[in-house]
Amino acid sequence: MTGPQRRGRRHPATRRPRLDGARLTAYDVLDGVSSRAAYANLLLPQLLRERPELQERDAAFATQLAYGTLRARGTLDAILTGLVSRPLAELDPRVLDLLRLGAYQLIDLRVPSHAAVDTTVGLTRGIVGTGASGLVNAVLRKVAAGGDRAQWLAALGAEGDDRLALATDHPRWIVDAWRDALGSEDELEAALLADDVAPEVHLVARRIGREALVEESGGSPGPWSPFAVRLPGGDPGRLASVRSGAAAVQDEGSQLAALLLARAPLEGPDAAWLDMCAGPGGKTGLLAAVRPDGVRITAADRAPHRAELVAKALAGEPDVEVLTADGTRPPWAPASFDRVLLDAPCTGLGALRRRPEVRWRRTADDVHPLVELQTALLDTALSSVRVGGVVAYVTCSPHTAETVGVVDAAAGREDVEVIPVAALFPDVPDLARGAYGQLWPHRHGTDAMFMALLRRTR
Ligand SMILES: C[S@@+](CC[C@H](N)C(=O)[O-])C[C@H]1O[C@@H](n2cnc3c(N)ncnc32)[C@H](O)[C@@H]1O
C-alpha cells in the first residue's frame, strides 16, 4: 500500500520493519498524500491500526511528524529550493518527501541534527536506495547548519504578507482570504497561528449524557455546545460510546451549525427537516438527537458512497430517510420541508487544522466554481422550504465569496428574510459577522465555520 510497492519498485520486505517505525509511518502518509492524493486524516489512522507494534508514544510522534510536515510544506520547500541544484519538482517525489520530513524535524522540532539526519538517511536508503541517500545527507546537513525556523525565515528574507505566510504555514492566497474574512489586520496573525497547531479532539454526545461521556473519555465539557466534550489527545476510536455510535468525533463548530437549524424560531408546523448535503452524516446525527418528537428527517447527498455513510451513521434511527440526490435537481416537491440545513460543499479553508494537506492542495481557482454550486444549492434550499420555514446555510470556510457573498445575494430576494444568528447563541462571544455567524480557531477553538439563517417569507 505504500509508494515504493505501488510504484512497482523492488522493495525487500525484510527491510521495512527495521526502519524507524514512527518516521516510516509519517513518510508513508506523506507519500500517500503526494502520490495518490490521500487524505492524511484518513490514511494515518488506517496505518496506525495496521501497525499495532507502534507504541502510543510512537503513534503520537508519527502524527506530529506527518501533520507538521504537511502543514509546513511551503516553508520547507522555500528552504529546500535554495539548497538543491534542481527545481524541487524534478526530484524523485519520494526524495522530496524525505527531505521535507527531515527538514521539519530540524527547523520546527529541533530534533538533534545527528538523529534527524541519520534517521532520514536510513529511511532514504531503505525506501529509495543508496544513491539518493547521499543527496539527502548533504541537503539536511545544510538545513541543520541554517538553524531553526526563525533563523531560516530571516535568511529567506521574506517580508510583509510573504513572511506571515511562511511563518504561519499558509499559502499567500489563504492569508489574503482570511484577512478579508476577518475584516481587519488586528487578529490576522493570531488567527493564522491558531490555524497552524494540532487541534484538540472534539466529541459530540448524541445518545449518551455529556457528563457520562466526560467521565468515560477523561475529557472536559466544550464551552459552546451542550453536547461537546474536548479531549487533549488520544485515539477516540478506543471509546465504547464512539464505537457504538452513541458519541462521535465532531468539531464543536459543526455542532453549533446543526444546533442553529434546530434552534431557529419557527411558527406553524415543524415536522419535516431536510439535510441537503448530509454525507458523511455528522450533522444529521446531531439533528436526529435533538429533534422534537414527531420530526422526520430526510438526509440527501449527491455522492452515493457519502449517502451510504449517512445511512450507516444513522442506522437504527427511526424516521430518517437517506437519499442519493443532487440538491440542484431535487427529487422532492417544492415547499416540502419546515427546516432545511444546507452544509454546502466548500473549499474547507476553515478546517485546515484537521486536514493539514488541504491548504497546499486547494487553489484560488477552486473558489468560483464552488460559489456557483453553493448559489444553486441555496436556491433549491429556499424553494424546498415552505413559506415561513427556515434555511441554515453553513460552510467550513470563512472565505467571503463562499459565505457572505452567496448569502447576501439570496438575502436580496423579496421572499427571503435574514434571521440574526448571534442572538441564538447568547453564550458564544464575538460570533456575529453582520447578521451572520462566524466561528474562528483563535476566538472559539473551533473550525472557522460560517453560519447564516434565512426565512422564506412568501
Ligand atoms: C461539507 S460536506 C457535508 C458534511 C456533512 N453535513 C456532515 O456534517 O457530516 C458537503 C457534502 O455535499 C455533497 N454535495 C456536493 N455537491 C452536492 C449536490 N449538488 N447535491 C447534494 N450534495 C452535494 C458532498 O458529497 C459532501 O458530502
pLDDT tens track for 226-240? 999 999 877 898 899
pLDDT for res 20:
72
Mutate to test the pocket of ligand 1, among 290, 301, 343 (most ligand atoms within 8 A of CB): 301
pLDDT recorded at residue 1: 31
Pocket mutation for ligand 1, best pick of 41, 287, 290, 302 (most atoms within 8 Å of C-beta): 302
Ligand 1 centre from 280 Cα, in Å? 8
Reported confidence tier of residue 19, pLDDT bands at 50, 70, 90: low
- 346 an active-site residue? no
Q: Is the pLDDT of residue 161 over 80?
A: yes
Q: Is the pLDDT reported for residue 11 higher than 60?
A: no
Ligand 1 atom nearest to 257, measured from its CA: 8
| pLDDT reported for residue 233 | 77
> By the 8 A CB rule, do 135 and 90 touch?
no
pLDDT digits (tens, 9 = 90+) for 31-52: 999 999 999 989 998 999 899 8
Identify the active-site residue in 30, 204, 257, 396: 396
How far is the CA of 194 from the CAs of 105, 252, 434, 441, 448, in angstroms? Answer: 20, 16, 23, 6, 11
**Which atom of ligand 1 lies nearest, measured to the CA of 250?**
8
Q: Which residue's CA lies nearest to atom 27 of ligand 1?
A: 279
- pLDDT of 7 > 50? The answer is no
Task: Using the atom order of ligand 1, give the atom closest to the CA of residue 276.
Answer: 21
Distance CA 293, CA 457 (A): 26
User: Contact at 8 Å (CB) between 98 and 136?
Assistant: yes
CA of 428 to the centre of ligand 1 (A): 26
How far does the centroid of ligand 1 lie from the alpha carbon of residue 263, in Å? 22
> Stretch 86-113: mean pLDDT, rounded?
97
Q: Give per-residue pLDDT as tens, 374-432.
A: 999 999 999 999 999 999 999 999 999 999 999 999 999 999 999 999 999 999 999 99
Atom number in ligand 1 closest to CA 280: 9
Cα gap 107→167, rounded to integer Å: 12
At residue 3, the pLDDT reads 35
Q: Quote the cell numbers at residue 327.
A: 440538491
Average pLDDT along the chain: 94
Q: What is the pLDDT of residue 56?
A: 85
| Mean pLDDT computed over 264-280 | 97
Closest CA to 120 of 16, 13, 24, 7: 24
pTM above 0.85, yes or no: yes
Q: What is the distance of C-alpha 449 from the center of its chain?
A: 11
pLDDT at 77 over 90: yes
Q: What is the pLDDT of residues 276-328, one digit of tens each?
A: 999 999 999 999 999 999 999 999 999 999 999 999 999 999 999 999 999 99
Mean pLDDT value of segment 171-185 = 96
**Cβ–Cβ under 8 Å, residues 320 and 288:** yes
71/63 Cα distance (integer angstroms): 12
The distance from CA 267 to its chain's CA centroid, rounded to whole angstroms, is: 35
pLDDT by residue (tens digit) across 315-369? 999 999 999 999 999 999 999 999 999 999 999 999 999 999 999 999 999 999 9
CB-CB contact of 271 with 338 (8 Å): yes
Measuring CA to CA, which residue among 165, 164, 41, 150 is closest to residue 106?
Answer: 150
In this structure, the residues whose C-beta lies within 6 A of any atom of ligand 1 are 254, 277-283, 300-303, 306, 326-328, 343, 345
Cα–Cα distance measured from residue 19 to residue 122, given in angstroms and rounded to the nearest whole number:
7
Residue 10 CA to ligand 1 centre (angstroms)? 41
Q: Ligand 1: distance of its center to the CA of 275 in Å?
A: 9
Is the distance from CB of 353 to CB of 199 less than 8 angstroms?
A: yes
pLDDT at 18: 53
